[in-house]
């Protein structure tokens, strides 16, 4: 069974900590980008998300958003939690970063 609660680290050094996992599948926590982000100013930022019911699906899908503290940016993640034959849990996710645009003409470069 895949449960998102706890600490997760990506292959690029990003860290996600899920501190609250509700019975309805909602969760919250924090996210800290790794060295690949290239910006030492980035602080730990809050995340909010939702996971499928693990009682119904043993390898659930999930989604969460990160609201970056220092910038007018948000990132949305969408993925699935897998359990390997050795029992190890792995997250696979796609993400989309959006920053505020100054005008509709600048919208094309904001995502």
Q: Would you place residue 95 in the very low, low, confident or very high pLDDT band (cuts 50, 70, 90)?
A: very high
60 dihedral zone (left: phi>0; alpha: psi -120 to 50; beta): beta
Q: Which two tokens stand for residue 109?
A: 């470069």
DSSP letter for each residue of 74-103: EEEEEEEEEE-TTS-EEEEEEEEEEE--SS
Q: Which two tokens stand for residue 60?
A: 């659930």
Q: Which fold has domain 6-106?
A: Lipocalin (2.40.128)
Query: pTM, whole model, 2 decimals?
Result: 0.84
Separation of alpha carbons 88 and 91, rounded Å: 10
Domain definitions of the chain by residue range = 6-106
- Look at residue 72 in the predicted model and tell me its pLDDT: 82
Average pLDDT over residues 75-85: 93
């Amino acid at each position: 069974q895949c449960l998102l609660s706890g600490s997760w680290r990506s292959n690029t050094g990003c860290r996600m900590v899920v501190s609250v996992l509700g019975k309805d599948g909602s969760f919250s926590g924090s996210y800290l980008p790794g060295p690949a982000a290239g910006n030492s100013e980035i602080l730990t930022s809050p995340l909010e998300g939702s996971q499928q019911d693990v009682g119904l699906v043993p390898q659930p899908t999930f989604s969460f958003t990160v609201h970056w503290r220092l910038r007018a940016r948000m990132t949305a993640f969408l993925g699935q939690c897998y359990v390997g034959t050795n029992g190890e849990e792995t997250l696979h996710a796609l993400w989309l970063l959006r920053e505020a645009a100054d005008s509709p003409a600048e919208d094309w470069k904001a995502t």
